[in-house]
Structure 1
Amino acid sequence: MTWLEQLAVFAAGIGAGGINAVVGSGTLITFPVLLAVGYPPVTANVSNTIGLVPGSLSGAIGYRRELRGQRSRLIRLGTASVLGGITGAILLLTLPEGAFKAIVPALIIAALVLVVAQPTLARRLKERQGEARPAHGGPILIAAVYATGIYGGYFGAAQGVLLLGLMGVFLHEDMQRINGVKNVLAMLVNGVSAIIFMFVADVAWQVVALIAVGSIIGGQLGATVGRKLSPTVLRGVIVVVGLVAVVHLLTS
């Protein structure tokens, strides 16, 4: 890569780390940049996943205050995310390129509907279940988090939007605390996928280093901004980012 291309990848890493901490979909920034500088799709996807792991950790650390008291929830949902991430990474290495592309826009639109309707749906679910509502969201949420992990391990763009939409409905919790959980789950999916890719896939390590450093910076910046957003504004940001993701995927 030329120094201008390296600068572009580094800047994309900052942007991806920031948007991942607030919402998700950072891959929609880095992945096109890597394709533009000449990397094959699978190599770009693999290198991008590995490079974003430090940024995911940075974003999770930025939300550490919101994660207090959620250890049991993180263990249950985190296990589902890890298993899903492993499955998705294996599928990426075995299925044809673009196998999930046709259904991704529909998944994101469904997640955005959940995000918008979350206050009403969550209230009705709480009224129906009463105090017996599971703190971890129940088996349906665990299965949905596993499925989202599969998608995250395979490609990952808008993984955060899907997680926020699902957890917002099934968890009786503040949006910022849910966002903290989302950052941890995305980090686990990226992390376990990265471990697999490092051993069996073609990795562009220069790209990994540039995105890693950039995403660490972006993760801290994103966490600082994201934690100050009201639930209503945060939902608005999620919807805007999600719609941009849908348009990008449908036109690319």
Structure 2
Amino acid sequence: MTWSEMLLLFAAGIGGGLTGSIAGLASVSTYPALLLVGLPPVTANVTNTVALVFNGIGSVWGSLPELRGQRAKLRRMIPTAVLGGAAGAALLLSIPAEGFEKVVPVLLAASSVVIALPVRNNADRPRHTGHLVLQALSVLAICVYGGFFGAAAGVLLLALFLRTGSATLADANATKNVVLGVANAVAALGFIVFAPVSWAAVVPLGLGCLIGSRLGPAVVRHAPATPLRLLIALAGLGLAVKLGYDTYR
């Protein structure tokens, strides 16, 4: 790998870490960059997942203020994220990705619309058993998808948490960073053992992701919530159109 390719991956990692920690859209820049430097699609996908472990580290590190008081909720969700990430990685290693990827544009577009809708403060509403079970099943499904392919899994989680109890965008983003980080790390562990990871690409991409993701939660913390939420929704819709064009053309 040349120095110019490493610099490209480093820059893509910074951009991916920033957008990933804010909106769960890290793969918008990281996955295409890996393809651009010549990695085959499957290798690019698994390498991307391994590099995004650093995105999870930086995102959670930057989200510590919002994570205070979320211990009970995260303790309930983390086992689901572990199971989902492992199942998604196993799916990627055992079946073709083409069929599953066809639903990605639809899921992403729908979640982006949900994010754009006005958010009520749901933090103080009582949580019934049925609500918690439905939330857990939704987290499981998204984490399976995240372990399988990953693009926009964070948008889906952000939309879910905004509608099921998070008081603010920053709180929902912090929860998303932990859950997605855990699922991604579990999937990455499976890929390290069983899949072709390009370590020459992981190093510059992962370092860039760590830097960018550390800055993202601060942006969410201080930026006006409504414009940022709409910007995230527009970015998600843009990615949905791009993925839909690539999938169905």
**Identity fraction in percent:** 40
Q: TM-score, normalised by structure 2?
A: 0.93
The separation in 2 between residues aligned to 1:184 and 1:135, in whole angstroms, is 23
Residues 113-147 of structure 1 deviation map (CA, whole Å, 9 limit, x = unaligned) = 22123526x76xx9xxx853259951111100000
CA distance in 1, matches of 2:83, 2:41: 24
Q: Does the 8 A contact of 1:137 with 1:171 survive in 2? A: no
Instruction: Specify the SS of the correspondent of 1:65.
Output: helix
* Deviation readout 1:32-91 (Å, 9 max, x if unpaired): 111121111111111111011012111111010000000010111222111111110000
Q: How many residues align?
A: 246
Q: 1:77 to 1:193 in 2, by over 3 A?
A: same
Over 3 Å counting, the alpha-carbon distance change for 1:227 and 1:114 in structure 2 is same
Partner of 1:14: 14
Query: Is 1:21–1:223's contact at 8 Å kept on the other side of the alignment?
Result: yes
| 1:185 maps to amino acid | V
Q: Aligned match of 2:168 in 171, 174, 180?
A: 174
Equivalence map 1:25-174=2 (5 Å): 25-117=25-117, 119=119, 131-134=125-128, 138-174=132-168
Code of the residue aligned with 2:189 in structure 1: it is I
3-state SS of 1:171 partner:
coil
Distance in 2 separating the partners of 1:115 and 1:214:
27
Indicate the RMSD between aligned Cα atoms, in angstroms. 1.9
Q: Relative to structure 1, is the Cα distance of residues 136 and 173 closer, same or farther in structure 2, using a 3 angstrom cutoff?
A: farther
Distance 2:104 2:82 in 1: 20
Does residue 186 in structure 1 map to residue 180 in structure 2? yes
State the match for 2:236 in structure 1: 242
- Match of 1:100, SS state, is helix
Note the residue ranges of structure 1 that are not aligned, 5 or more in a row: none
